């Protein structure tokens, strides 16, 4: 068995002694270290919660989709493994600042607004990521400032793959305006 096909386990990762990077309705994200990936983020998802909410298929879809998204402005999927009670999704680690937090800092700390040039720079990266996803037939479905992470000072990868869906399966649904009346927004 070569190293690429080696079975990965929880013991291959060192969980860093830091507060969680974040948490959501499905799990918690921790800082971890791996020999190959170096510093990364581990999304820890309870199998029990996923089963109770009937979201096991949702999790399979999330990982299948995220594995296909290799783009500089999308958080990279690195690995996945599971224990008896949890599923771990290993992702590229951003420096933990969301665009929401950055906007708040500009307003509250710097007492000013972002420059038009900086906003254009961020919007270009966001639109590049969204365009790439759409070219793969994938819609994000939860694009908001909290799901846009600051990365290496000014690169912005999109996060929250659990709200992505393939949209090419039902193009008629997207084309017809009346079909939107049954859509409930995540917020």
Q: Kindly list the catalytic residues.
A: 142
Report the distance separating Cα 109 and Cα 31, nearest Å: 27
- The SS3 assignment for 86 reads strand
Nearest C-alpha neighbor of 43 from the set 6, 73, 13? 13
Q: DSSP characters for 144-159? A: -GGGBEEBTTTB--B-
- Which helix (DSSP H) or strand (DSSP E) does residue 62 occupy? helix 56-67
Contact 68, 136 (CB under 8 A): yes
**Largest Cα–Cα separation, the chain:** 57
């Amino acid at each position: 068995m070569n190293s690429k096909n080696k079975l990965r386990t929880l013991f291959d990762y060192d969980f860093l002694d830091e507060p969680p990077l974040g948490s959501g309705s499905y799990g918690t994200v921790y800082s971890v270290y791996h020999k190959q990936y170096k510093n990364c983020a581990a999304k820890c998802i309870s199998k029990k919660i996923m089963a109770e909410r009937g979201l096991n298929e949702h999790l399979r879809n999330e990982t299948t989709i995220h594995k296909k998204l290799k783009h500089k402005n999308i958080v990279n999927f690195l690995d996945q493994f599971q224990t008896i009670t949890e599923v771990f999704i290993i992702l590229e680690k951003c420096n933990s600042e969301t665009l929401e937090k950055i906007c708040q800092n500009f307003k509250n700390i710097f007492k000013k607004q972002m420059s038009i040039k900086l906003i254009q720079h961020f919007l270009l990266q966001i639109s590049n990521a969204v365009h790439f996803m759409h070219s793969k037939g994938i819609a994000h479905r939860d694009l908001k400032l909290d799901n846009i992470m600051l990365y290496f000072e000014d690169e912005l990868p999109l996060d929250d793959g659990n709200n992505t869906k393939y949209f090419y399966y039902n193009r008629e649904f997207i084309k017809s305006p009346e079909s939107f009346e049954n859509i409930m927004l995540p917020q």
